[in-house]
Structure 1
Amino acid sequence: MIRDTSAQDRVIQAAPGRRRQVVIAVGALALLALGVLAWPQLQRLGSGTAGTSVSESRLTISAVERGAFVRDIAGEGKVVAANAPTLYASNGGAVTLLVHAGDKVARGQVLARIDSPDLANRLAQERSNADSMRADVLRAQVDARQQSAQLQSEYENASIDLKTAQNDLDRQTQAFKAGAAASMQVDHARDTLEKARVTLTHAAAGRGMKEDALKFDVQAKQAALARQELLVKDLQRQVGELEVRSPADGQVGQLLVAERATVAKDAQLLTVIDLSALEVQMQVAESFARDLAIGMPGDISGGGQNWKGSISTVSPEVVNGEVAARLRFDGAQPEQLRQNQRLSVRVLLDKRDNVTFLRRGSFADENGGTAVYLLRDDGTAERVPVRLGARSLDKVEVLDGLKPGDRVVISGGDAFGSAPRVTISH
């Protein structure tokens, strides 16, 4: 058998009461430490100054500062052409495209042709009508000259007849005085003279009226010819517009129709981008849009470069809670920019010195922005009224209620539940 060590074991008796003393001492030390740690809280609870306790880790705290206050808008913009016209079909027909998307074009260059047989036939017909009416005008002018010559001849014959009658009356009167003619012959000569005078008067009046009528007829035919020539010119203009020309130096954007497609009048054909006048368009939140104004300065950056610009246009329409604004480059336009290229944009709305402000946080929207929680030295946050002013992306102007150096809860205050005083635990 294997021998064990039972013969070597010995029971040791503990001193009476020693374990109890150790336990009591440890418990007393623990209670003392707990009392020291909890004494500030118990003191505040006893005085009734804070009914709510919130951990400081849940809060964002910032100090009130005084200095330069800058209001700006920063965002992403894209390069757009200030002039990017869409070209339309002036008449219906089959389209022949002479360029491709992305091709560089010059002002006046033919980009597409529209084949319109109906318009060409109308132009030919109206030209023929104009030629016919031009011949009518010439014929009317010749006829007017002929009739005017005939009327002149009748007038001159009447004048001769009047003079002949006057001479005959003079001879008969002399003969009557000499006793060689009867008084009846003198009366007959006098009647003949009167008749010749009436005939001459009628010839003169008839010549004037007929010449006026002939003149009016010629003028009417000339006016009709002028109207017809205007119609021909308009048709020539329409035929000329069948050649779609570039309105500016630039680049072809999109081809909106297929080759040899048949289009209706006013159909979209293609777009031309004027690369000599580029702008940067950015979307601005509706809350900042009311502060934008044409001419405000801005900074444009991209690809490691920076450019100065200014607002050229602000859209009067709000779309999806945003307003479109465009910035024009100051000075020479940068090179190597492309349509829809992304750039960073910053627009300066306002800049002032010696302004009291806070970092922007949710407090600006909570409680209508009329109150904030101010941290006190005793570890509490007290709700105090404030009056806020202008707001930027990262700062809020303080007009009244706070002073530089005050520490304020700028975020997380929704956990306070509008309590007048809150305990901040560490």
Structure 2
Amino acid sequence: MIKDTSSQDVVVKQQRRRTPWIVFSVCVIAIVCMGYVAVSAPPAAISVAKSSLKVHKVSKGDLVRDIVTTGKIIAANAPQVYSPEQGYVLLKVTPGDFIEVGDTVAIVDSPELQSNLKQEQLVLASLRSDLARQQLDVRRQTLLLNKQADLAKVELDAAMREDKRASLSIQNHLISQIDFEEAQDNLARAKVTHKHALAEIELATDTLAFELKTTEEKVARQELVVVELARQLANLQIKATVSGVVGNVRIQPNALVAKNELLMTLVDLSAYEAQLNVAESYAGDLGIGMDVELTMGGQTVLGTLVSISPEVVERQVTARVRFPENSVQSIRQNQQVSARILLENKTDVLKVARGSFLQAGGHTAYLVNGDVAERVAIQIGATSMREIEILGGLNEGDEIVISNYEKFNQAPSVLLR
């Protein structure tokens, strides 16, 4: 029988295994570090891809408040031509024709006006004949009155001589007392007759002069009527008041038009303006005399704001900009133009690029600090189409997120991955 190996085995007492103090120390230190990091690091419940955001650095510099808008070129001087009378119009020009001041652009044929002129000319000729006839009557009546005065003077002289002879004769007792008194009566009668003859001449002269003046005024009035009709007839040949081109023609050739009906528009090529449409929200910022940069056909020119419409139409106000003549080549009526109205120029201000974050109200911004964007309160000032002024909450060199904050859900911090 083969014996087993039990006689060779030795029972060994089992000992408890102890953790080394070095391993324990490392674990404690690790736990403490993790706790510190957890306490010191801000919680970031939302993470957003940094590549999907727009980040801009806050800087100092000049900020120009401006408004970007569009408009069109219009003629500053574009008079409209109206028919002065009713009649048939003979057009002398066509749309697009070049014209000079004084050129005839249309002729209106008005038989009624021509007939009125002839009738008034006949009335004037009749009044002139009446005036000439009255002048002859005045001369005739003046002659008769002068004749009566002269005869009264002759009778007065004769009575004075007779009275003188009677006075001498009565002294020498050559005539009776009755004859002497008769001579004195004749002298008195002659004096009265001569006095009234002179008064009648004076009154008749004033009367004849008044009647003659009245007739002369009638003639002068009729002359004005004839002159006015002649002027109206001359105005039937409509002449250009500006040098330029013929714009829109509103009638057909040889058409019958009414008085004051619009015929055509003339365009002065030497005076253009830009008409801009500005949103009503900026109406309070506009002011006469502001500088405006106009861009048309690849050319840029600096103009001046000269007028602002007092009314709002379709939530817009109309502004006109005048720019120097001949400053832009090859411009046309109603040509589209883009404009930049310069409202204000600020120097050495803290600013940042304009972005969609202003939709949140402009009171908060997300300041980028490494891989975390923290929400901070800010205060903004003047704004332009490209930049905004920072009044408080940020410092020069800070970087903020300027894109939309909708995905941030107003979180106090956001992790940028």
1:334–1:196 CA distance, 2 compared to 1 (3 A): same
Aligned partner of 1:358 in structure 2 is 352
Whichever residue aligns with residue 387 of structure 2, its letter is K
Cα distance, 1:54 vs. partner? 5.3
Cα distance, 1:339 vs. partner? 1.9
1:291–1:111 CA distance, 2 compared to 1 (3 A): same
Query: Does the 8 Å contact 1:54/1:422 carry over to 2?
Result: no
Query: Does the 8 Å contact 1:53/1:422 carry over to 2?
Result: no
Residue 374 (str. 1) matches residue 374 (str. 2): no
Q: How far apart in 1 are the matches of 2:337 and 2:373?
A: 46
Query: Does the 8 Å contact 1:376/1:382 carry over to 2?
Result: no
- The counterpart of 2:292, out of the listed 288, 298, 304, is 298
Residue 317 (str. 1) matches residue 311 (str. 2): yes
Aligned partner of 1:154 in structure 2 is 148
Q: How far apart in 2 are the matches of 1:243 and 1:230?
A: 21
Aligned partner of 1:389 in structure 2 is 381
Whichever residue aligns with residue 98 of structure 1, its letter is K
Q: How far apart in 2 are the matches of 1:192 and 1:365?
A: 122
- The counterpart of 1:137, out of the listed 124, 131, 134, is 131
Structure 2: state its 5+ residue gaps: 1-33
Whichever residue aligns with residue 175 of structure 1, its letter is S
Aligned partner of 1:33 in structure 2 is none
Residue 207 (str. 1) matches residue 198 (str. 2): no
Using the size of structure 2 for normalisation, the TM-score is 0.84
Q: How far apart in 2 are the matches of 1:209 and 1:236?
A: 41
| 1:17-28 correspondence runs (5 A) | none
Q: How far apart in 2 are the matches of 1:43 and 1:128?
A: 115
Query: Does the 8 Å contact 2:77/2:268 carry over to 1?
Result: yes
Whichever residue aligns with residue 280 of structure 1, its letter is A
- For residues 323-347 of structure 1, what are the alpha-carbon distances to aligned partners after superposition, in whole Å with 9 as ceiling and x for unaligned? 3333333364444322223344333
Aligned partner of 1:217 in structure 2 is 211
Whichever residue aligns with residue 365 of structure 2, its letter is V
Query: Does the 8 Å contact 1:310/1:330 carry over to 2?
Result: no
Q: How far apart in 2 are the matches of 1:342 and 1:47?
A: 56
Q: How far apart in 2 are the matches of 1:332 and 1:259?
A: 35
Cα distance, 1:154 vs. partner? 0.9
Residue 241 (str. 1) matches residue 238 (str. 2): no
- For residues 205-239 of structure 1, what are the alpha-carbon distances to aligned partners after superposition, in whole Å with 9 as ceiling and x for unaligned? 11111111110101111111111111111111111
User: Larger deviation: 99-108 or 370-379?
Assistant: 370-379
Q: How far apart in 1 are the matches of 2:366 and 2:120?
A: 86
How many residues align? The count is: 383
Whichever residue aligns with residue 104 of structure 2, its letter is V
Query: Does the 8 Å contact 1:278/1:333 carry over to 2?
Result: no
Aligned partner of 2:221 in structure 1 is 227
Residue 410 (str. 1) matches residue 402 (str. 2): yes
Aligned partner of 2:174 in structure 1 is 180
- The counterpart of 1:423, out of the listed 410, 414, 417, is 414
- The counterpart of 2:342, out of the listed 317, 323, 348, is 348
| 1:92-107 correspondence runs (5 A) | 92-107=86-101
Runs of 4+ deviating beyond 6 Å: none
- For residues 56-78 of structure 1, what are the alpha-carbon distances to aligned partners after superposition, in whole Å with 9 as ceiling and x for unaligned? 56643322221121223344443
Q: How far apart in 2 are the matches of 1:53 and 1:199?
A: 133
Whichever residue aligns with residue 84 of structure 2, its letter is S
Cα distance, 1:377 vs. partner? 5.0
RMSD: 2.6
| 1:9-20 correspondence runs (5 A) | none
1:147–1:329 CA distance, 2 compared to 1 (3 A): same
Aligned partner of 1:271 in structure 2 is 265
Residue 66 (str. 1) matches residue 55 (str. 2): no
Cα distance, 1:48 vs. partner? 8.0
User: Larger deviation: 208-217 or 284-293?
Assistant: 284-293
Cα distance, 1:190 vs. partner? 0.8
Q: How far apart in 1 are the matches of 2:305 and 2:95?
A: 30
What is the SS of the residue equivalent to 1:251? strand
Q: How far apart in 1 are the matches of 2:368 and 2:215?
A: 98
Q: How far apart in 1 are the matches of 2:77 and 2:399?
A: 52
Structure 1: state its 5+ residue gaps: 1-38
- The counterpart of 1:113, out of the listed 107, 114, 123, is 107
What is the SS of the residue equivalent to 1:175? helix
**% identity of equivalent residues:** 36
Q: How far apart in 1 are the matches of 2:353 and 2:107?
A: 62
Q: How far apart in 2 are the matches of 1:410 and 1:95?
A: 65
- For residues 331-389 of structure 1, what are the alpha-carbon distances to aligned partners after superposition, in whole Å with 9 as ceiling and x for unaligned? 6444432222334433333323211112112333433x3333334457242241x3221
- For residues 118-172 of structure 1, what are the alpha-carbon distances to aligned partners after superposition, in whole Å with 9 as ceiling and x for unaligned? 1111111111111111111111111111111111111111111111111111111
Using the size of structure 1 for normalisation, the TM-score is 0.82
Cα distance, 1:179 vs. partner? 0.8
Q: How far apart in 2 are the matches of 1:408 and 1:380?
A: 8
Aligned partner of 2:279 in structure 1 is 285
Aligned partner of 2:8 in structure 1 is none
